[in-house]
């Protein structure tokens, strides 16, 4: 039962359950459905080959599992012929295992765990070590073979490497033939999976073993967890005690007897949040007794299953790409995705960061992306996992058209930046207009009364009452907020209309004095560098900003 095996045994009902929660079958033509399914299948085959034959993981296990589930879901949606997948078809090697490595069923949720436990006894639980599987063969107490998992029947000869790995004993107190199956892992000190994740630990071991030779210092970084002794004592307690006597301490240290779902859940939570000497991506639940070794096959058996930890990253399908323009002209692509669940949160939108990053990733509707939580709260786009066959053209804004002095009116193409300017103006960092938020500005913009940033100052009670969505009381409160803004200080008004941050610069109380300053004079102010000095000078010289200052002067705002 190799913990490193990525074969996911899923029933069709489990697949449908997982994906039906998030979406219905795509509205695709038969041609598109065949293309998308073929693309997904080809990508998974590339991942399988790289992972099992070369020891290189091109995608995180949890994203692999979700991608394979999605493939099966699409096949069910479009009645596509379900190919009998063999993730290990390119993984075989020249050396036969004395006893095959079995696979591992993965239980998708608590319901599946309860169902698997029902009616079983003599149960044990272990951390699911995130490493690479190995067979060790001893003859008369001497290590004679170390074999990679390969396809479960044949693998690569790792005997030379094993001689350099400190955790693998060269000699043990056993005179007959002894075959052990276990996991080689990268040693980590006080590793907490819930906080640190897997840290690419498995790939470090796989990369090391893929070399022609390794040093003793490198081998010292590798640990060993024996998870089965196929021909060992029938009872789990006896096997663990005997393994400890042979020098394999981890087997007993990280194996616990359990009864029922509650204990399984407690141990899973414990190992997820407490220090371990290795990366672990879940727990393995097993029956103590299992069939004789001669009956083992290279497929998932009935006596053992995995319950993985909560996803740290989820796969989500992009529905739409929005290009938001901020007050300063920064363009931020934001993805609308099919709603997904992550750490008890439902996520339907995620930022792509900058326009340059979006262009580099080239994300389009239909793509599958990986999403995690930054700081356990903020959705974060990690990578593109699968690209859709169709590369839909998108109306991408020209970055050169937007900057801190663009879009002072809601002209075509400027609607978003203009709206962000209004939001800033009414916010606590601006005029702090009570009861005035994005919805208020939307009503005024839709009514066609916001020709520029200060058009609201000209509105009277009658005009406000005639705006759709504003009743008599709400329009009266709004008018009161607008009138109260006139009492704000000169410096507050400057910040509200978009003054670049001026650190500790002395602003005084006169627009004309600030407008007359040169770049050098701005730079002479405390905390103002060359770049900020140029920004401040450009702000006061901009024709649109000067027009705002004249409006404020006409409205009697002090300082202007």
Q: Where in the sequence numbering do the catalytic residues fall? A: 128
Going by their DSSP bridges, the two strands 378-386 and 368-374 should be labelled as antiparallel
The residue with tokens 């709004």 is 478
Q: Is 256 helix (H, G, I), strand (E, B) or coil?
A: strand
- The Cα 309–Cα 194 span in angstroms is 9
- The Cα 256–Cα 267 span in angstroms is 9
Contact 124, 236 (CB under 8 A): yes
Q: Residue 337 gets which letter from DSSP?
A: E
Residues linked to residue 230 through DSSP beta bridges, in sequence order: none
Cα 176 → chain centroid: 49
CB-based contacts of 430, cutoff 8 Å, min separation 6: 424, 492, 495, 496
- The Cα 293–Cα 178 span in angstroms is 12
CB-based contacts of 491, cutoff 8 Å, min separation 6: 507
Q: From residue 493, how far is each of 326, 445, 498, 506 by CA, in Å?
A: 20, 21, 9, 15
46: enclosing H helix or E strand: helix 30-53
User: Rounded to a whole number, what is the distance in angstroms from the first to the last CA of the chain?
Assistant: 78
The residue with tokens 């020891």 is 55
Burial class (CB in 10 A: 0-12, 13-18, 19+), 346: exposed
The residue with tokens 């008369």 is 140
């Amino acid at each position: 039962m190799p913990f490193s095996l990525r074969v996911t045994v899923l029933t069709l009902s489990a697949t449908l359950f997982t994906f039906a929660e998030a979406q219905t079958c795509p509205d695709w033509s038969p041609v598109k459905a065949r293309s998308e399914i073929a693309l997904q299948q080809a990508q998974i085959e590339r991942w399988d080959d790289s992972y099992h034959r070369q020891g290189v993981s091109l995608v995180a296990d949890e994203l692999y599992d979700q991608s394979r589930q999605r493939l099966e879901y699409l096949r069910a949606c479009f009645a596509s012929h379900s190919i009998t997948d063999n993730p290990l078809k390119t993984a075989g090697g020249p050396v036969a295992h004395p006893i095959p490595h079995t696979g591992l069923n993965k239980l998708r949720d608590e319901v599946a765990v309860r169902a698997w436990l029902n009616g079983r006894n003599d149960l044990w639980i272990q951390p699911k070590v995130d490493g690479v599987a190995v067979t060790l063969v001893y003859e008369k107490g001497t290590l004679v073979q170390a074999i990679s998992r390969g396809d479960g029947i044949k693998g690569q000869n790792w005997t030379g490497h094993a001689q350099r790995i400190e955790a693998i004993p060269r000699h043990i107190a056993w005179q007959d033939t002894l075959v052990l199956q276990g996991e080689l892992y990268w040693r980590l000190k006080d590793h907490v999976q819930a906080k640190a994740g897997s840290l690419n630990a498995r790939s470090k071991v796989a990369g090391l073993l893929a070399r022609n030779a390794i040093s003793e210092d490198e081998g010292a970084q590798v640990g060993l967890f024996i998870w089965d002794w196929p021909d060992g004592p029938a009872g789990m307690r006896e096997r663990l005690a005997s393994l400890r006597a042979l020098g394999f301490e981890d087997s007993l240290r990280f194996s616990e007897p359990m009864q029922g779902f509650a204990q399984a859940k407690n141990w899973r939570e414990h190992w997820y949040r407490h220090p371990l000497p290795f990366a672990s991506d879940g727990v393995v639940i097993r029956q103590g007794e299992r069939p004789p070794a001669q009956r083992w096959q290279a497929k998932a058996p009935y006596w053992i299953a995995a319950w993985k930890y909560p996803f740290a990253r989820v796969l989500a399908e992009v529905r739409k790409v929005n290009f938001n323009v901020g007050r300063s002209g920064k363009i931020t692509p934001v993805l609308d995705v099919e709603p997904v669940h992550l750490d008890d949160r439902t996520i339907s939108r995620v930022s792509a960061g900058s326009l340059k990053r979006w262009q580099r990733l080239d994300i389009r509707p239909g793509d599958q992306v990986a999403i995690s939580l930054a700081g356990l709260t903020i959705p974060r786009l990690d990578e593109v996992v699968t690209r859709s066959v169709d590369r839909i053209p998108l109306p991408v804004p020209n970055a050169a058209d937007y900057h801190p002095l663009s879009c002072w009116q809601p002209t075509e193409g400027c609607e978003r930046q203009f709206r962000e300017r209004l939001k800033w103006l009414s916010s606590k960092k601006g005029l702090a207009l009570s009861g005035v938020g994005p919805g208020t500005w939307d009503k005024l913009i839709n009514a066609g009364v916001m020709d520029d940033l200060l058009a609201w100052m000209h509105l009277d009670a009658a005009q406000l009452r005639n705006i759709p969505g504003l009743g008599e009381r709400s329009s009266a409160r709004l008018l009161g907020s607008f009138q109260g803004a006139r009492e704000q200080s000169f410096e507050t008004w400057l910040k509200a209309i978009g003054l670049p941050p001026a650190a500790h610069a002395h602003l005084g109380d006169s627009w004309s004095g600030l407008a007359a300053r040169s770049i050098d004079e701005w730079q002479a102010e405390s905390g103002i560098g060359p770049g900020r000095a140029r920004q401040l000078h450009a702000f006061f010289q901009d024709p649109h900003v000067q027009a705002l200052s004249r409006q404020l002067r006409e409205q009697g705002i002090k300082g202007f």
